[in-house]
Structure 1
Amino acid sequence: MADSAEGDNDVKYLGLLVPLLIVLIPGLVIHSFIIAVNGTNWWQGRSVTPVEHIVTSLGISRMCTQCANTAYFILLRVFWRNRDSRVTFAIGIVYSLLISANIWLTSLLSIVFCLKISHFHTRLFLYLRGMMAHRTVYFIGAAVLLSTVNILISLLLPFTKVSSGETYNTTITDLMTYCTNIDSVYSVTIGAVFPLIFYYISSILLFTSLYHHTTKMKMSSNLSINLETYYSVMKFVSITFIYNTVYFICYISGILYYYIYCVSPDWLLIVLGFLPVLHSSYLIYRKAELRSQMSKVLQNVTDFLFQRKDAETRENIEVVVL
């Protein structure tokens, strides 16, 4: 019976590992492509916009998150059998840090878009626009720092309880599986809610500004005005809004599931790895330079494959003739 149960667990594990690896491969390709294109522009001395700074940082964060996600899933199985949770605990902390940084950077990207595109002309708005344009790198560092502080707080809470005498007979392994600590759940949740609030405010302001602007342009007598660009930006904001909402729901659901059952929801790890790949693909499609470079890469790959196929065909013909 034990061997049968172990075999069923192995089958279930492989059934989850395969789609996780399938998501990992295109994710690494897409994220590394964004990093390579923007990094090449920076290396060649070309001007890099604040949006490109954030998108590059987001690509690095998402690529590292996927690698940590896969490593956590694989090592969780290996070290669980050996009853050693230190390695998986450390990777889990890194994974949580990267997800938190991903959420903060996504919110920062939305704020920069709002300041850059919106048609507000208040003194505060113009001041924030100028400040963000020249200090984007500092805000990226601040987002990573806030993520680190939040994760450290949630990590130190169980040890604080032990040192204050609230918990007795607690081993290191017990501390590393702190799923029943509601304070840690609050800390991680609040750390995700704050950047999400900033994201929703900036997205709603941007969409409202674009909507009112397009409405005024429709009412004007100038019929030659092209509104497709504005509609395209509004579509981008809407799709990104849906993505962030779904991502946040999956993230919070994973935290609550872990708190209630003290088991990591493996299927949610796959979903949380798949959603950023879709969003990064959409960012490539939306940005003209990234889309152009991706087209060139795909064209080169296609030409190489067809040239190789033609060469093999010619070799086969020559063999048959001989």
Structure 2
Amino acid sequence: MASTKEWSLIYLAMLIFTCTAGIMVNLFIVAVDFPNWLRGRKIKTCEKVQCVLALSRICYLCISLIRVFIAISGKGNQFPLNDILTFIHISNNYTGLWYLTLLSVLFFMKIVDCKHALFLRLKAVMSRKLMYFIAGVTLISVCSSPMRVWGVKGLFEHSQQHNLTNVACKPDFDVSNIYAAAVGNCGPFIIYSVSSITLVTSLSRHVRQMRSGDTNLSSRNLDRYYIAVKSLTVCLLIYALHVAANVLAVVYFSCLGISGFFVLLNLFPNLHSVCMIYRNPKLRQQFPERMQAAANCFYQRRH
């Protein structure tokens, strides 16, 4: 049976690997579209939200590593900056959820065939005023963060080196912490779930109508619909697990410890970033090319 120290080292190694991989994946997403956006070239609204989401996740991963190393140093309470990092970290967590929700709503409006005047008006407004919506959800995230900051700060101040086999591993059902976590995650989760479930239902119904009708539906087109439905379902599952991790990580903090806490929080956003690359043809096509170019650059520097 692994000792407490061994569990802590295992979790720390897992965290370093998770954060490093996540930063690389999200840097790739930013590198594909963000330069064109900065140069004023026309890119899709969904790609803009993807860039902002990836930048938010990079910041979240970096702060996770910084906070863990500050906590490991045993001088966390001596750093006034630690309180600021806690606030930024929680705000980044919420902004990631809201950006992803905004991306889901944009995808929903793009796919769903609705001719209602109000729907078309909202679709046009979101496309033209995208930066206002991004700023709006960012403001909501920042305003939702203070409620949770004090609870998470208390966990770190009284944290010890625990693991899954330790006698101190007991769920902490602190009502204030659970309530703060639930309130911050509830809003984006409801909107994301409604848009994703509605979109999956609409696509499934559309496939059934096309198969039962007289239209000639090729197996290739049918496969595309099935892939879209599967991708949306997987992303919804990852989102739900991400929200659950945000709540349960606080409850089981004594079992996970600091490093395990951040591994759980960063795991599902990284998985979603990988899914974004897989389901986006542009990203999927450029990923092996960029990886090969990076490998060649690294090899040339070594030799």
TM superposition score normalised by structure 2: 0.82
Q: Deviations over 1:258-296 (max 9, x none)?
A: 5xx698553231122222222112211221222222222
Residue number in structure 2 paired with 1:63: 58
**Is the partner of 1:121 in helix, strand or coil?**
coil
CA distance in 2, matches of 1:255, 1:122: 44
CA distance in 2, matches of 1:85, 1:264: 20
**Is the partner of 2:145 in helix, strand or coil?**
helix
- Structural mapping, 1:182-197, within 5 Å: 182-183=175-176, 185-197=178-190
Relative to structure 1, is the Cα distance of residues 90 and 79 closer, same or farther in structure 2, using a 3 angstrom cutoff? farther
- Structural mapping, 1:190-205, within 5 Å: 190-205=183-198
User: What amino acid sits opposite 1:118 in the alignment?
Assistant: V
Relative to structure 1, is the Cα distance of residues 176 and 15 closer, same or farther in structure 2, using a 3 angstrom cutoff? closer
Is 2:114 the counterpart of 1:120?
yes
Residue number in structure 2 paired with 1:33: 28
- In the alignment, which of 139, 150, 154 is matched to residue 133 of structure 2? 139
Asked whether the 8 Å contact 1:155–1:184 carries over to 2, the reply is: no
Asked whether the 8 Å contact 2:71–2:156 carries over to 1, the reply is: no
CA distance in 1, matches of 2:275, 2:256: 32
Residue number in structure 2 paired with 1:50: 45
Higher mean displacement: 196-205 or 180-189: 180-189
CA distance in 2, matches of 1:147, 1:125: 26
Cα RMSD of the aligned pairs, angstroms, is: 3.1
- Structural mapping, 1:86-165, within 5 Å: 86-155=80-149
Asked whether the 8 Å contact 2:249–2:264 carries over to 1, the reply is: no
Higher mean displacement: 186-195 or 263-272: 263-272
CA distance in 2, matches of 1:237, 1:176: 36
Residue number in structure 1 paired with 2:245: 250
CA distance in 2, matches of 1:202, 1:102: 17
Asked whether the 8 Å contact 1:79–1:88 carries over to 2, the reply is: no
Asked whether the 8 Å contact 1:34–1:56 carries over to 2, the reply is: yes
Q: CA deviation at 1:185?
A: 4.0
Relative to structure 1, is the Cα distance of residues 174 and 278 closer, same or farther in structure 2, using a 3 angstrom cutoff? closer
Structure 2: gaps spanning 5 or more residues: 159-171
Whose RCO is larger (CA < 8 A, sep 6+)? 2
Asked whether the 8 Å contact 1:34–1:284 carries over to 2, the reply is: yes
Relative to structure 1, is the Cα distance of residues 19 and 200 closer, same or farther in structure 2, using a 3 angstrom cutoff? same
CA distance in 2, matches of 1:175, 1:267: 13
Relative to structure 1, is the Cα distance of residues 88 and 123 closer, same or farther in structure 2, using a 3 angstrom cutoff? same
Q: Deviations over 1:71-110 (max 9, x none)?
A: 1111112135x76474444322221111111111111111
TM superposition score normalised by structure 1: 0.78
